[in-house]
Structure 1
Amino acid sequence: MRKLFLLFLPLFAASCGQVKQQVSAPEPVNVMSFNIRYDNPEDSLDNWKYRKDRAANAIRFYDVDILGTQEVLHNQLEDLKQRLPEYGVIGVGREDGKEKGEYSALWYKKERFNLLDSGYFWLSETPEVAGSKGWDGACERIASWAKLQDKASGKEFFALNTHLDHVGVVARREGISLILDRINALSDGLPVIVTGDFNSEPESDVIKHVTDPSNPEHLTDARQASPIVYGPAWSFHDFGKIPYDKRPLIDYVFVRNRLKVLRYGVLAETEENAFLSDHAPILVTVE
């Protein structure tokens, strides 16, 4: 009997090892925040028609899994959908809740993620009213969100993308308070990823409110949490027109709930002095 047991022991060990190999460990997730600049005919050689292929190629080259885009007009959305068929997208035009105005479009890689739930709301006193403008804001502002499940690991994420007002001080402050409340209500304790153009620098009251550790709803700035930081300390350059030392950092990726930041980069690259946009994309890897 003892010989028989010893004979089968290696088979049991191999079987146990095989089971372990079938369990997929969570893979890192590449996250990008990218203000693509709206399709403005006055942009001359920086117009979208000259940039759309480069922008789409950058997204694919950096193997982005979750992508938050801002200032996306409907024709730009269609251009990106055509060039990035491997991505699903959530979002509506901010002016009418359909196709009018800019989208804060949230993209995810369909091959990697199941879309469990999604939605959007306006940054205003009436978040469910399409086209509503909030507080002292100059424009309608919107946030798009999704619950995603990694198909390989089964892990779930809550992702949100937004664009705060560029004029209204109250609109930025109240807008981020609304976003933090909605994240708390919608995320069900899942790991949280937030992308966006916040039109606020790191030392501003807005960003301090986002990252305030005394607030149980606070988020962590991926730049501050990353052991590797690549690129400049700014993101907005107006197609290179702003002097280098005057360029502000106003684009962010924030995280919460068990997400470890592995790397952070500002992609301030050019091709023959041509930029991807008037903003540099932010690329972050988390696990």
Structure 2
Amino acid sequence: MTSLRVMSVNIRYDNPKDGPNRWCFRKKSLATLIKEVNPDIFGSQEGWEDQINELKTLLPQYKYYVSAPEWNRKRMFPCVWVREDINIRESNTLWLSPTPVIPFSKVSGSIFPRSTTYVIAQKANTPFLFINAHLDLASEEVRLKQTTILLREIEKVNHKSYPMILVGDFNTTSTSPIYTVLTEKFIDVWKWLELPEEHTFHGFTGRGMRGRIDWILVSSEVIIKKAKILKQTPFDVYPSDHFPVMAELEL
């Protein structure tokens, strides 16, 4: 068995309206939390290019993967971060649209173009597929379209049937149609461990709201050992407006 610690965090884009919670005041808090958790691999959602590069400077033991043909203030890519001892065989970013290989394409009704970044990775002698996604805020109908495309693209990528880990900000809860569709193929680590439902969005208040919208899902081959919502505040600053989530797994 190969142990694997994974994590997912929406890092919140650098919004000037966030005042004392702006990126410049919390980036060290986020980096410190990640160092404390020490995941083998994790997914980040949101984040502009300068934020991602600043986080990389603070986390030199990680390399991030994303296929970003053009960074700008309206394009926030899901990135996959991998510790140095993880080997990467393949990586790519696909768009959750009818034309996944066309950058910035989107489904009708989506507020922003949404994408997913994946890596086929290997720890020790064990290969696995890690996928990071961020679904739209617009509506359940839009998210359902994106979920259908996400599952179709995962099936194409995973033609060798690797164990799979899907993380992300799904902008919906475990009572949604999107959750039902995804859990026909994946296991929710939180539900499998029979943990009580919590909230993962808190808007820099520390008081959860909107339900558990950040998930870690795995294929049936993956052994689930532990899962946790991370509420630490290094330097007394919230790392993000979302609580990160982590899981300890075995492959």
Is 1:118 aligned with 2:83?
no
Query: Which amino acid in 1 is paired with 2:205?
Result: G
Contact 1:237 1:248 in 2 (8 A): no
The aligned counterpart of 2:78 is 104
Contact 1:92 1:104 in 2 (8 A): no
Aligned partner of 1:139 among 112, 123, 130: 112
Identity of aligned residues (%): 29
Q: What runs of 5+ residues in structure 1 fail to find an aligned partner? A: 1-25, 213-217
Is 1:37 aligned with 2:12?
yes
Offset from partner CA, 1:13-56 (integer Å, 9 cap, x none): xxxxxxxxxxxxx3311100100100111100000001101101
CA distance in 1, matches of 2:192, 2:83: 25
Task: Please state how far the C-alpha of 1:271 moved relative to its aligned partner.
Answer: 4.6
The aligned counterpart of 2:198 is 233
What does 1:212-251 correspond to in 2, within 5 Å?
212=184, 218-226=185-193, 229=195, 233-240=198-205, 244=208, 246-251=209-214
Task: Please state how far the C-alpha of 1:274 moved relative to its aligned partner.
Answer: 2.7
What is the number of equivalent residue pairs in this alignment?
A: 247
Contact 1:136 1:169 in 2 (8 A): no
What does 1:1-287 correspond to in 2, within 5 Å?
26-93=1-68, 97-100=69-72, 101-111=75-85, 113-150=86-123, 152=124, 154-187=125-158, 188-212=160-184, 218-226=185-193, 229=195, 233-240=198-205, 244=208, 246-271=209-234, 274-287=237-250
Contact 2:80 2:117 in 1 (8 A): yes
CA distance in 2, matches of 1:267, 1:142: 25
Q: What runs of 5+ residues in structure 2 fail to find an aligned partner? A: none
Contact 2:66 2:91 in 1 (8 A): no
**Higher radius of gyration, 1 or 2:** 1
CA distance in 2, matches of 1:75, 1:47: 13
CA distance in 1, matches of 2:37, 2:49: 24
CA distance in 1, matches of 2:106, 2:157: 22
CA distance in 1, matches of 2:46, 2:33: 17
More helix by share: 1
Secondary structure in 2 matching 1:275: coil
Query: Which amino acid in 2 is paired with 1:125?
Result: P
Contact 1:267 1:281 in 2 (8 A): yes
- The CA RMSD over aligned residues, in Å, is 1.7
Offset from partner CA, 1:45-74 (integer Å, 9 cap, x none): 000001101101111110111110001110
